[in-house]
Amino acid sequence: MSSATVNPQILDSLKARGMAIHRHSPTRDIIFDNLSDEGKGIFYTEMKRYSVRLILRDMIKYQDGFTSDMLGDFSVFEEKERCINLMYDLGIVEKTDDLFRLKKRPITSFGPTLEWFVARLMEREFASPSVWGIRFKGISSGGDFDVISQYQGELVYIEVKSAPPKGIEVREAAAFLNRINSLLPRAALFFVDTELRMRDRVVLLFHQEFLQSMKDPFPKRLDLKCLEREIFHINHRIFILNSARDVVKNFTICLRDFLANGLKAI
């Protein structure tokens, strides 16, 4: 359990649903340790760039030793060098012989760092208190709830996926919907950190057999529509989105649509 405190509004919303947090905000698998508030601000700003997130994924993949040539297949050399140097200055990366490596090891995946980033994004860009990596006692849906936010007085759940669309399975879509059934948020986002198309695979995973099990007031039939580009919605309350072009802008599109149309659907 992290020593971080959970916002009282979130705790009240969970209490009203008969839910209590067992643990949250686990720091073991976050890529950094003991960053100052200023350092976290710098790291967060860098994480808003998709190219940086790709490089950080590869830093974790090759965490015991890497060069710039091993990172970010689609990033230019100068960007990779800049990112390595910045992470070195922040104390996230250290140098050994002719290689760089993560100072904090082992890190099992990029997922927890991405969850931290999304929670921070909700707080910094949308003034929404957030908590991440949440586990509840006695919840049938099981597993961690990635990010829970209190947005404009409404409880919002965000599932965070760092894998590309081809790595996401049907069971993950089902688990997302099951967690919605358990938490009963007013809105939910299924966020895949990719610039690849969503409609070719991820959207197809949200099949009617899963939606038929949704509890009131969520829809019981498949009514999945395109909101904009590769952003989709179900009844303006469940959103499926990627990070193409601008991750903050994509979240804004979903949350504005929820305020404009989703609350009317309840």
Burial class from Cβ neighbours inside 10 Å (0-12, 13-18, 19+) for residue 53 reads buried
How many angstroms separate the CA atoms of 139 and 158, rounded?
17
For 226-239, what is each residue's pLDDT tens digit? 999 999 999 999 99
| Cα dihedral 44/50/53/59 (nearest 10) | -140
Identify the CATH assignment for 8-22+110-265 out of 3.30.70, 1.10.3470, 1.10.760, 3.40.1350.
3.40.1350
- Alpha carbons within 13 A on the beta-carbon side of 2: 20
Please say whether the beta carbons of 152 and 257 come within 8 A. Answer: no
Q: Give pLDDT, residue 174.
A: 85
* Per-domain residue ranges of the chain: 8-22+110-265, 37-102
Q: How many CA atoms lie within 13 A of 101 on its CB side?
A: 12
pLDDT digits (tens, 9 = 90+) for 175-217: 898 899 999 999 999 999 999 998 888 887 876 555 555 655 5
Identify the CA nearest to 88 among candidates 50, 41, 121, 43.
43
Q: What is the pLDDT of residue 220?
A: 55
Q: What is the pLDDT of residue 169?
A: 86
Q: How much is the pLDDT for 115? A: 98
Q: In the chain, which residues have pLDDT < 50?
A: 1
Instruction: State the pLDDT at residue 199.
Output: 84
Q: What is the pLDDT of residue 72?
A: 83
